[in-house]
């Protein structure tokens, strides 16, 4: 049975990464409505040695590679090393899950990768999207999954979903609802990108 190899890049807490691992590692799906395939998380990679997600990988039994970006003189040199590392795992798809680096064409021209962003792109790009949405006059917040290119949060959108803003709601409550939407939407987008349906078996 054909295996679909997935690599996850992360920089921090790793909650989205853990959700993806639990949704896709050693799982059997139907692809293109006809053939069974197994999805595997072959490795996770972090640019931050101190990321809590490293501990999550260890607890989940998933290999985790550490590639500190501070060891490189510029983004291109880091991306060249990252490309070589990731290509060793022959990924069908690379999934960014809180990976706090803007990738250059050195990487994006060679690797098919997607990212999740906690706003309704193109609104509120950047690292503070949830707070920016909360502080805005927008009537709703949301989550976007998009293809990755060398423009910050600028790739073609794959899926989006929204939640209404609630008058008087605390930022912490709003943030929690956004994260819950992320955990729901990202697996849906991965299934769509890989043309997968009908989980057959949990490994």
Distance CA 176, CA 150 (A): 29
Distance CA 187, CA 29 (A): 13
CA distances to 31, 38, 123, 129, 171 from 17, rounded to whole Å, are 22, 18, 24, 19, 23
Which residues have a catalytic role annotated?
Answer: 117
* CB neighbour list of residue 93: distance below 8 Å, 6 or more residues apart: 4, 6, 7, 112, 113, 114, 190, 193, 194
For residue 79, what is the DSSP state? H
Residue written as tokens 């295996």? Answer: 3
């Amino acid at each position: 049975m054909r295996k679909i190899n997935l690599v996850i890049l992360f920089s921090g807490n790793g909650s989205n990464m853990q959700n993806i691992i639990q949704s896709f590692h050693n799982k059997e799906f139907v692809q293109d409505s006809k053939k069974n395939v197994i999805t595997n998380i072959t490795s996770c990679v972090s640019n931050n040695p101190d990321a809590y997600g490293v501990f999550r990988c260890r607890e989940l039994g998933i290999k985790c590679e550490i590639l500190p970006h501070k060891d490189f003189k510029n983004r291109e040199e880091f991306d060249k090393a990252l490309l070589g590392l990731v290509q060793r795992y022959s990924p069908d798809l690379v999934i960014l899950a809180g990976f706090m680096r803007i990738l250059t064409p050195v990487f994006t021209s060679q690797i098919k990768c997607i990212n999740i962003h906690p706003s309704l792109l193109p609104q509120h790009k950047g690292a503070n999207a949830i707070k920016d949405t909360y502080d805005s006059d927008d009537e709703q917040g949301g989550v976007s999954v998009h293809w990755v290119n060398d423009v910050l949060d600028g790739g073609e959108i794959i899926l989006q979903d929204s939640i209404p803003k609630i008058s008087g709601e605390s930022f912490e409550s709003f943030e929690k609802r956004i994260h819950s939407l992320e955990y729901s939407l990202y697996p849906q987008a991965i299934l769509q990108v890989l043309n997968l349906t009908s989980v057959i078996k949990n490994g």
